[in-house]
């Protein structure tokens, strides 16, 4: 029996679970084993500067089985990050969290996180419970007949491989296949067969590269992707199928070839590189004009905008700005590229601009770490204060799922989920973008290859294809991974082609064209099965998460609905696992289950 019991992810010990609202009543219960005599138990709360914010007495309330219960209720009056622990008998010893966030006795306590936020502007009820699909536009499907630009490489065949070798010592990202907005329209019914309700598009504004993160004109659809009318048609046709479009917002930097910088004189406007007299000059920060300037991570092709310049802020977030323009056509929000490069004021203005068009529009941030405690450029970020981001890309969960399935690290997954549940607002938990692959990471299937990416040359990566036993082993593990992706709290995001078993290591091999003629039916049907289960049960929209049995490479949990619960069991062992249950319905095989559930090895 443990001496002390406290866990902030269980409502019987902390209510509400997770980040809390300002002025909200927060109740803490700590159980103390009845053979341990204590005179006092205090909750010590520190602010983010490690100064004591409050000291609150916990009072004995009742005896329960073999434990005494100590309780306190309090409010926090200011938005921010706080840290807390418990002091026993005026500092005789303390209670702090172990790695699983459970209370342990110590003389040098760590702290639990307590995040306090304002009410979020949106409910996002339209978004929760859906399935997202990320499309890298040039590589998805060619539906139109858009003429290629000059100074690019246009592949003659859709099935050719991507260019990966430098040209004159540079990676130009200038090879194209012709995927476009018309192509997405043609494939909307395919996406609906996967129960997709959200499409997240890679950047679609005019740019030089195939990835379009080097924007040249924020008010134009790239000509190789189509026209404004094509975009409007995509919005309308998607909505007919109950699918909503989310755009990629690249607001930290432009392309050096843009009409605003105009390094090569492509545009008839006078850019910042050309003259210090142009209004665009103050959009950028020059060190030694025109050759030295601030740019994203040292890439001279991506000059950073001056986020303190009023005209820049108005251009993106004003009533006639970029955000208002595109959302007015019916797009439902933005994913903010490299949001940790944007200062707080800019993020605030972006949030307000998105919500001004429709308060239910969504703001998603690209954050690779725990966004609740993110520090960038020596500054604690305030993403979840209620006025910045609704949610983020869930890279911490991605890494944890892959670590469990690939390396049998079930404890790491358990810890990571507990920390997310404790650190994030419930509003954010239910809207997390749960992805296992993106345009920046290797294909999901390749995470389970026999060979590791770092051990292969680029040439070897380009020609690496899993076959036979290796492929079957990888598919088995992929099924376990996507089961967790679809059943854990948040919104699962499918990276185009993962659902058909596409292979490829990181960029550019994760950006190959969709192989419409080479669909792995085993993988595709598993995605369909999981998506059918997910959209048929509201517990995956906003139901609570509860651990069931997590040990010995077994990961099982409940998702609670209003009058039912769903048990998810993932067996990452090579042998069977037996779980006792009185009665239930096996949703995988659609059959009744009584007394015991037998989960075969490497299955769910």
What's the number of CA atoms in the CB half-sphere (13 Å) around residue 5? 16
Residue carrying the six token digits 């926090």: 76
**Residue 224 · residue 148 · CB < 8 Å:** yes
**Residue 252 · residue 337 · CB < 8 Å:** yes
Catalytic residue among 175, 206, 214, 366: 366
Catalytic residue at 366? yes
HEC secondary structure over 471-527? HHHHHHHHHHHHHHHHHCCCEEEEECCHHHCCCCCCCCHHHCCCCCCCCCHHHHHHH
Structure tokens at 296: 């994203």
How many angstroms separate the Cα of 27 from the Cα of each of 11, 70, 227, 518? 9, 11, 55, 55
What's the number of CA atoms in the CB half-sphere (13 Å) around residue 31? 18
Structure tokens at 17: 């679970």
Give me the residues paired with residue 12 across strands.
none
Residue carrying the six token digits 């995001």: 493
Angle among Cα 84, 90, 93 to the nearest 5 degrees reads 70
**Residue 461 · residue 405 · CB < 8 Å:** no
From CA 515, how far away is CA 423, in angstroms rounded? 40
Catalytic residue at 576? no
From CA 96, how far away is CA 115, in angstroms rounded? 17
From CA 157, how far away is CA 137, in angstroms rounded? 16
Catalytic residue among 214, 222, 337, 390: 337
- 63 CB-near residues (< 8 Å, 6+ apart): 34, 69
Phi, psi of 259 (to 5 degrees): -70, -15
Which residues are the active-site residues? 337, 366
């Amino acid at each position: 029996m443990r001496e002390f019991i406290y866990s902030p992810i269980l409502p019987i010990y902390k209510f509400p679970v997770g980040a809390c609202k300002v002025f909200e009543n927060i109740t803490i219960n700590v159980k103390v084993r009845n053979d341990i005599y204590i005179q006092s138990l205090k909750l010590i709360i520190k602010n983010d500067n490690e100064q004591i914010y409050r000291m609150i007495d916990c009072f004995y309330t009742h005896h329960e089985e073999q434990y005494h219960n100590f309780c306190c209720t309090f409010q926090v009056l200011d938005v921010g990050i706080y840290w807390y622990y418990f002091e026993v008998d005026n500092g005789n010893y303390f209670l702090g969290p172990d790695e699983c966030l459970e209370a342990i006795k110590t003389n040098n306590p760590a702290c639990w996180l307590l995040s306090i936020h304002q009410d979020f502007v949106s409910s996002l009820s339209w978004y929760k419970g859906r399935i997202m699909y990320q499309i890298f536009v040039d590589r998805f499907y060619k539906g139109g007949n858009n003429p290629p630009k000059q100074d690019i490489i246009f592949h003659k065949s859709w099935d050719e491989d991507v260019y990966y070798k430098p040209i004159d010592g540079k990676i130009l990202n200038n090879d194209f296949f012709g995927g476009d907005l018309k192509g997405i329209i043609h494939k909307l019914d395919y996406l609906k067969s996967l129960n997709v309700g959200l499409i997240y598009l890679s950047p679609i504004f005019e740019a030089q590269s195939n990835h379009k993160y080097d924007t040249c004109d924020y008010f134009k659809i790239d000509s190789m992707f189509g026209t404004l009318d094509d975009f409007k048609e995509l919005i309308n046709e998607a909505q007919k199928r109950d699918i909503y479009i989310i755009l990629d917002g690249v607001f930290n930097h432009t392309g050096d070839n843009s009409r605003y910088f105009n390094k090569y004189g492509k545009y008839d406007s006078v850019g910042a590189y050309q003259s210090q007299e142009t209004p665009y000059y103050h959009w950028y920060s020059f060190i030694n004009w025109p050759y030295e300037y601030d740019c994203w991570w040292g890439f001279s092709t991506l000059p950073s905008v001056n986020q303190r310049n009023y005209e820049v802020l108005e251009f993106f977030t004003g009533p006639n700005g970029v955000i208002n323009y595109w959302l007015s056509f019916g797009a439902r929000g933005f994913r903010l590229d490299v949001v940790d490069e944007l200062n707080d004021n800019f993020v605030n203005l972006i949030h307000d601009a998105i919500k001004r068009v429709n308060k239910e529009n969504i703001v998603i941030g690209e954050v690779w770490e725990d966004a609740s405690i993110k520090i960038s450029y020596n500054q604690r970020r305030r993403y979840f204060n209620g006025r910045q981001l609704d949610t983020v890309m869930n890279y911490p969960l991605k890494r944890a799922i892959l670590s469990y399935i690939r390396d049998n690290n079930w404890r790491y997954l358990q810890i990571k989920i507990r920390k997310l549940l404790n650190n994030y607002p419930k509003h954010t938990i239910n809207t997390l973008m749960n992805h296992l692959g993106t345009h920046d990471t290797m294909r999901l299937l390749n995470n389970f290859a026999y060979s590791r990416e770092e051990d292969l040359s680029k040439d070897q990566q380009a020609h690496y294809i899993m076959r036979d036993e290796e492929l079957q082993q990888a598919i088995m593990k992929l099924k376990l991974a996507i089961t967790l992706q679809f059943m854990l709290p948040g919104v699962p995001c499918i990276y185009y082609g993962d659902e058909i078993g596409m292979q490829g290591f990181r960029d550019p091999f994760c950006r190959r064209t969709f192989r419409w003629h080479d669909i792995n039916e085993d993988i595709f049907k598993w995605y369909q099965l999981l998506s059918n289960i997910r959209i048929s049960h509201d517990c995956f929209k906003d139901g609570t998460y509860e651990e069931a049995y997590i040990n010995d490479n077994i990961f099982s949990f409940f998702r609670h609905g209003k009058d039912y619960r769903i048990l998810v069991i993932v067996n990452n062992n090579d042998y069977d696992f037996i779980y006792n249950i009185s009665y239930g319905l096996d949703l995988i095989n659609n059959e009744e289950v009584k007394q015991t559930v037998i989960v075969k090895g490497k299955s769910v």
